[in-house]
Amino acid sequence: MATTQTEEPVSSPPADARLPMTGVRVIDVGTFLAGPYAASILAEFGAEVLKVEHPIAGDPMRHFGTATKRHDATLAWLSEARNRKSVTLDLHQKRGIELFLQLVAKSDVLIENFRPGTMESWGLSWDVLREVNPGLVMLRVSGYGQTGPYRTRSGFSHIAHSFGGLSYLAGFPGESPVTPGTSPLGDYVSSIFGAIGILVALRHKQKTGRGQVIDVGIYEAVFRILDELPAAYGLFGKVREREGSGSFIAVPHGHFRCKDGRWVAIACTTQKMFERFTQVMQRPELNSSSMYGEQAKRLAARDEVNAIVNEWTGSFTRDEVMKLCIDGEVPVGKLNSIQDIFEDEHFKFRGNLVELEDDGAGKVTVPGVVPRLSETPGRITNLGPPLGDSTYEVLIGLLGVSAEEIADLRRRRVV
């Protein structure tokens, strides 16, 4: 694998030296989130990520979301482009392509998320890249994948939620389907699958020396997390419809409003849980065989059961409902706003909120590293970098480009 340094071992190695991905170099040439987030995951565990951007505007995600005092960085950029070095190259110019291929030759992983055919139009097909670096692992994320009749269609997370079958399930019975949350879930999930693919491919490279392409369609990452939906339709022709905040497998299993206007989530997925819940509500008769003591009866009387629960939660504050359910071992959770999350002791204890200082934007709080490793925990070294902050460092230190040529490249806007 490519390494970032060749110095001799010392008694006190740098903090990154023990991280499992140290020594792996990743080129992130994508834009926005689907695909590039995979690079963020790898970087948190030691990989060196070179973010290759156009020298004029950079990644459009720099201007997507809430603006900050930094002209080239929104909060989305600062949070999700963390742990990177920004290198500017114009891949529409010959010298830009040449320098990019030199970077590929010295790297382990390349991540791109353009519409299929874009890289090829720049002369950067897989065959060309593989010739430069036979061990290269290439992650390609696109709306519909690299093959198939829809391959050239543009795709975003919102479209993937719809096409992949998730949005159809979101909303209340008989009402318009809704977006399943404002977070671009498909972008994150496709990137997580992409990161898994990269790790598997690097393992294969260790064994054989050969790289390979990882092809992820955002829609299929969404489709993959729809539990038994495909099996139920294939076997029984069952089409699951929108069920609001509930679940087709259990009841009560949903969101319930409390006296103070706040909400809780309650999940009674087993008979034992429902029995405990009836004790907590001081309504043990609800668990009798003549009422709702059997799962099939509860499911058939879903609206009645939920109405009873709503009436009960509506007579207590959220904190009171939480205490009663927790004491009675009934699965319950707050429906947290982001304000609730910032105030929650568990989020604080687990380090789920990390505050970092940015020279332009000030103190910015971002999500912590997931997953949590006992021996080699990940870390955040920096927020989304300024455009081109590491261009000189990489071109001079890694590729041996002279300062004179860099000056010329700047004049021609190649970097």
pLDDT in tens, 181-193: 999 999 999 999 9
Query: In the predicted model, what is the mean pLDDT of residues 86-113?
Result: 98
- Whether the bond between 252 and the residue before it is cis, its omega within 30 degrees of 0, is yes
Which is the CATH superfamily of the domain at 253-343?
Answer: formyl-coa transferase, domain 3 (3.30.1540.10)
pLDDT given at position 13:
38
Share of the chain above pLDDT 70, in %: 96
For the chain, where do the domains classified as CATH 3.30.1540.10 start and end? 253-343
Q: With 90 as the cut, is the pLDDT of residue 6 above it?
A: no
* Architecture category of domain 15-224+354-411 in CATH: 3-Layer(aba) Sandwich (3.40)
Give residue 18's pLDDT band: very low, low, confident or very high (50, 70, 90).
Answer: confident
Mean pLDDT across 215-223: 98
The residue with greater pLDDT, 10 or 361, is: 361
How distant is the alpha carbon of residue 153 from its chain centre?
Answer: 22
Contact between residue 24 and residue 109 where contact means Cβ atoms under 8 Å apart: yes
How many C-beta atoms lie closer than 10 Å to residue 359's C-beta? Answer: 9
Mean pLDDT of the chain, nearest integer: 94
Q: Which two tokens stand for residue 111?
A: 């991540």
Mean pLDDT throughout 237-248?
93
For residues 12-21, give the mean pLDDT: 69
pLDDT tens string 53-83: 999 989 999 999 999 999 999 999 999 999 9
What are the pLDDT digits (tens) for 269-324?
999 999 999 999 999 999 999 999 999 999 999 999 999 999 999 999 999 999 99
pLDDT of residue 14: 47
Average pLDDT of the residues in 173-183 = 93
Predicted pLDDT of residue 3: 33
DSSP output for 112-154: E-SPTTHHHHTT--HHHHHHH-TT-EEEEEESS-SSSTTTTS-
Concerning whether 187 is annotated as a catalytic residue, the answer is yes
Mean pLDDT for the stretch of residues 380-401: 97
Give the model confidence (pLDDT) of 372-390 as tens digits: 999 999 999 999 999 999 9
The whole-number average pLDDT for the span 382-401 is 97
Closest CA relative to residue 213, chosen from 19, 31, 25, 35:
35
Q: What is the pLDDT of residue 413?
A: 96
* CA distances, 301 to each of 239, 283, 313 (Å): 20, 17, 19
Could you tell me where in the chain the CATH 3.40.50.10540 domains are found?
Answer: 15-224+354-411
The predicted pLDDT at position 108 comes to 98
* Annotated catalytic residue within 187, 215, 227, 358: 187
Query: Which residue(s) pair with 254 in the sheet?
Result: 266
Checking if the pLDDT of 9 tops 50, the result is no
- pLDDT tens by residue, 127-158: 999 999 999 999 999 999 999 999 999 999 99
What is the structure's pLDDT at 2?
A: 39
170 band by pLDDT with thresholds 50, 70 and 90 = very high
